[in-house]
Chain A
Amino acid sequence: MEGAWEIAFVLFQVWLSIVVGLIVLPAMFGVSLGFTDIYIKVLVKTLEVKAFLLLCLVSFQIHNVLSGIIEKDDGSMEEEIGELRRSHPKNLAGGDFTMCDAFYFCKKGIENIVEDQVTQRFTSEELASWNLLTRTNNNFRYISVRLTIIWGLGVFIRYCILLPLRITLAVIGLSWLVIGTTLVGLLPSCNAKNWLSDLVHITCYRICARGLSATIRYHNKENRPKKGGICVANHTSPIDIVILANDGCYAMVGQVHGGLMGVIQRSIVRSCPHVWFERSEMKDRHAVAKRLKDHIADKTKLPILIFPEGTCINNTSVMMFKKGSFEIGGTIYPVAIKYDPQFGDAFWNSAKYNMVSYLLRMMTSWAIVCNVWYLPPMTRQDGEDAVQFANRVKSAIAHQGGLVDLSWDGGLKREKVKESFKEEQQKMYSSMIVGSDFHEASVGPA
């Protein structure tokens, strides 16, 4: 009995030293032993081979993400209703309404029932060909013995080999973060403290990145965010923080949480200033803006990292940027993050999965492969208000990342559409019916 425990203990020690020696230490020094690269290359080859096999074996139904299912008329409300009325004799007295006007709204409504622009952004992207993860193929069915064997092998590799490895790394990374930052926090303020704090942060995030088998390619490193600035990026998942922090140190902004997150938050704020808000403070926009302004005014503090969409979007598009971050002033450093969906779906659908099941899904994917582009810094120009500035930054990010630029609010994921949208439609229609002449006639001198 005791013999079994001893053996288990020895095995565990061996395992730990392998992990530390081959993965953690190189990660901390930013050195790559090349394992991840080889792994990715093997994955790509396998998936290519599998795709070829599939094409040979059976004709596969391919879902194309960007093309719609129905043909939409792109005309404006005026054009469409005008066409409807062309055949109808017009009588201008008493307002310009015809019963066929309702057809326009009816058709638009039915079109939206069949297909709409917004709902599809909050579910995971469909892939053109299957990547051997059942979670990405909604219609998984038995296609062939060979494919099922390959898939089974994939499950074994992912759950029995990769998952324990990744969990070990994540645990090591996070404990190192908490312990390291607490220790650094004990030092008095000095340059050495800042240097050590940066070191602890980067090494921890690098370990975490290894824990997700993340391969990140950074482009245009010369545009990397500098101190006293605000870094702005599109949001797909909480992992975005790990991705960005692998290549630079940022001050995080967010709400104070309880539990494990709270522990991490409290310890990292000891070694360098982050901006954590209580829930009650978040409601007061001026207080929030002031704290952020004070932070960026101090040029020794790290650049702030903000995700202006406010929620996770599925990485096919960029949704409305909330103007709050763009009102503070300072230099904005936009960053575009694009994940390669072939290796694993990084989108966090918070309605479907909680944080823990999401992380488990991440750790049982093949890998996380993504590209990060640093864009040239932008500042608000004269005559430009916060909303226009936000849209300008958003377009730049969408363009660089190859994402669709939408003006819908990501908050629509949870909230109902504001009444003002409906009112706008009503206003547009009523101006066609009633027009300015009629308004004047009715509001005329009493």
Chain B
Amino acid sequence: MGSTNSTLLKIPNVEVLMQETGFSPAHIIRLHDRFKALDKEGRGHLCPQDFGAIKELAMNPIGDRIIGAFFSPGKEMVDFHTFVKILAHFRPVDKDRPKEPNSPELINSRSNKLKFAFQLYDQDKDGKISRDELLKVLRAMLGMQVTEEQLESIADRTIQEADLDRDDAISFEEFRKSLEKVNIDHKMSIRFLR
């Protein structure tokens, strides 16, 4: 108990953080240890290179986009609070937490998880996945394994299926609708062991 509290005390505004994200004290400590381990030079914040040093992330086809999700446009640093808030998207949905009508939406709600995934596609953040953006993601995930024509036909078909208002782009609502049957909670959640 003594050691737990003193680590928590070192983190500023930790109470607010726990309330906003829903992480338990033990989880916050574990994430803090991980943050410090990634922050090799002890600067108190992470930069894109610190993420790039994680080998398994470097071999992930969309690794760069995932790293980009941590940094707001124009910012090159992530502090611990932002780090935890982004990771909070992947907390499993609390099934037994009662839905209060006036409370702000939880970070790990189904909708917010979908928004996180949406921004991986929508890099210019205009609220729509254009054909071009879709092609870019496909190229990232498939590399040199497929030809340009194959990519284009895949993109065309995907947009055709999902684009309901025929504007040749996929808005967030269309994105959400096309994935309404997918078990988002399971597939976009990470369970902490303790």
Say if the beta carbon of B22 comes within 8 Å of chain A: no
Docked Cα-Cα span, A293 to B117, in Å, equals: 56
Chain B hits for A15, CB < 8 A: none
Q: Is the CB of A102 within 8 A of B117?
A: yes
Q: Is the CB of B87 within 8 A of A110?
A: yes
Q: Is the CB of B66 within 8 A of A110?
A: yes
- Shortest CB-to-CB span from B171 to chain A, Å, is 13
Say if the beta carbon of A6 comes within 8 Å of chain B: no
Say if the beta carbon of B31 comes within 8 Å of chain A: yes
Say if the beta carbon of A12 comes within 8 Å of chain B: no
Identify the closest chain A residue to B142 (Cβ). Answer: A430
Chain A hits for B7, CB < 8 A: 139
Docked Cα-Cα span, A70 to B138, in Å, equals: 29
- Shortest CB-to-CB span from B78 to chain A, Å, is 11
Q: Is the CB of B188 within 8 A of A421?
A: no
Chain B hits for A114, CB < 8 A: 31, 34, 87, 190
Chain B hits for A113, CB < 8 A: 51, 54, 57, 66, 87
Say if the beta carbon of B96 comes within 8 Å of chain A: no
Q: Is the CB of B54 within 8 A of A116?
A: yes
Which of A60, A61, A438 neighbours the largest number of chain B CB atoms within 10 Å of its CB?
A61
Say if the beta carbon of A123 comes within 8 Å of chain B: yes
Q: Is the CB of B182 within 8 A of A93?
A: no
Contact with B along A56-74 (1 / 0, CB 8 A): 0011110000011111000
- Shortest CB-to-CB span from B66 to chain A, Å, is 4
Q: Is the CB of A91 within 8 A of B157?
A: yes
Docked Cα-Cα span, A411 to B7, in Å, equals: 34
Say if the beta carbon of A422 comes within 8 Å of chain B: yes
Q: Is the CB of A101 within 8 A of B62?
A: no
Q: Is the CB of B157 within 8 A of A119?
A: no
Known: A70-B190, A71-B191. A106 touches B3 (CB 8 A): no
Known: A111-B190, A117-B56, A143-B2. A99 touches B87 (CB 8 A): no
From residue 2 to 16 of chain B, which have CB atoms closer than 8 A to chain A? 2-4, 6-7
Q: Is the CB of A69 within 8 A of B60?
A: no
Chain B hits for A111, CB < 8 A: 190
Identify the closest chain A residue to B1 (Cβ). Answer: A59
Say if the beta carbon of A285 comes within 8 Å of chain B: no
- Shortest CB-to-CB span from A13 to chain B, Å, is 47
Say if the beta carbon of B166 comes within 8 Å of chain A: no
Chain B hits for A112, CB < 8 A: 54, 56-57, 60
Say if the beta carbon of B125 comes within 8 Å of chain A: no
Docked Cα-Cα span, A118 to B2, in Å, equals: 31
Known: A97-B138, A105-B141. A119 touches B154 (CB 8 A): no
Chain A hits for B31, CB < 8 A: 114
Known: A99-B121, A109-B60, A114-B87. A426 touches B143 (CB 8 A): yes
Contact with A along B43-68 (1 / 0, CB 8 A): 00000000111111111111100100
Taking a contact as CB atoms closer than 8 A, the residue among A84, A119, A141, A429 that contacts B54 in the complex is A119
Q: Is the CB of B147 within 8 A of A116?
A: no
Chain B hits for A95, CB < 8 A: 150, 153-154, 157
Docked Cα-Cα span, A416 to B154, in Å, equals: 32
Known: A88-B182, A94-B153. A105 touches B55 (CB 8 A): no
Say if the beta carbon of B156 comes within 8 Å of chain A: yes
Contact with B along A392-424 (1 / 0, CB 8 A): 000000000000000010001000110001111
Say if the beta carbon of B106 comes within 8 Å of chain A: no
Q: Is the CB of B182 within 8 A of A100?
A: yes
Chain A hits for B161, CB < 8 A: 91
Q: Is the CB of A106 within 8 A of B117?
A: yes
Docked Cα-Cα span, A425 to B144, in Å, equals: 12
| Interface residue ranges, A against B (CB under 8 Å) | 58-61, 67-71, 83-84, 87-88, 91, 93-95, 97-120, 123, 139, 141, 143, 408, 412, 416-417, 421-427, 429-431, 433-434, 438, 442
14 residue pairs A–B, Cβ–Cβ below 8 Å: A70-B193, A94-B154, A109-B57, A109-B66, A116-B56, A422-B59, A422-B63, A426-B143, A427-B143, A427-B145, A429-B142, A433-B142, A434-B145, A438-B150
| Interface residue ranges, B against A (CB under 8 Å) | 1-4, 6-7, 30-31, 34, 37, 51-63, 66, 87, 90, 116-117, 120-121, 137-138, 141-147, 149-150, 153-154, 156-158, 161-162, 170, 175, 178-179, 181-184, 187-194
Known: A110-B190, A112-B56, A425-B60. 18 other contacts (CB 8 A): A67-B193, A70-B191, A71-B190, A84-B187, A91-B161, A94-B153, A98-B158, A99-B170, A99-B179, A101-B141, A102-B62, A105-B62, A113-B51, A417-B59, A422-B63, A423-B143, A433-B154, A434-B146
